[in-house]
Amino acid sequence: MAEAKVSLEVCESEFERFAEAMGLEFDPTTMGEDDKKSLSAAKDRLFKAMQAGSLVIDESGRAVFTPQMGDKSPITFNEPMGSSLMAMDQKKKDHDVAKMFAFMADSTKQPPSRFAAMANRDLKVCQSITMLFLG
């Protein structure tokens, strides 16, 4: 594994800045064990991406991810709007992946096909960011 470009302390600080800018609240005292585990797993994945330099938090507090495989153009995760949730409603019941891709597409202004063509290692980072908004 390559040497980390960003320290864990900086990752934590940047994550907090992202959460504040996006209106996300993570209060462990009100979370169940499953939610705590999900948050921890998401943070671990995001911190690894930050340490590798593929995920940064921009000056506006938005997460900007540069995939490592395939299309390497950066993807900016904006604070989701109601339209992001409505995009999920357009998909069939039990089509959970399609719903997630629709949500990600709306909040990043990317086509859903961008995520469908993404390597799993990159997709997991995008899904981790998305789950923070949906949790």
pLDDT in tens, 81-123: 888 877 877 767 877 888 889 999 999 999 999 999 999 999 9
| Average model confidence (pLDDT) across the chain | 91
In a domain, 83, yes or no: yes
At 77, is the secondary structure helix, strand, or coil?
strand
Give Cα 91 to chain centroid, integer Å: 21
- Does residue 127 sit within a domain? yes
- Is the pLDDT at 11 greater than 90, yes or no? yes
Specify the DSSP element, H or E, that contains 106: helix 96-108
Question: For the residues 61-89, what does the mean pLDDT come to?
Answer: 91
Diameter of the chain measured on Cα atoms: 43
pLDDT above 70 covers a percentage of the chain that reads: 96
For 43, the domain range is 8-134
Going by pLDDT thresholds of 50, 70 and 90, the confidence category of residue 2 is low
pTM: 0.89
For residue 2, being part of any structural domain is answered with no
Question: How far is Cα 14 from Cα 31, in angstroms, rounded to an integer?
Answer: 22
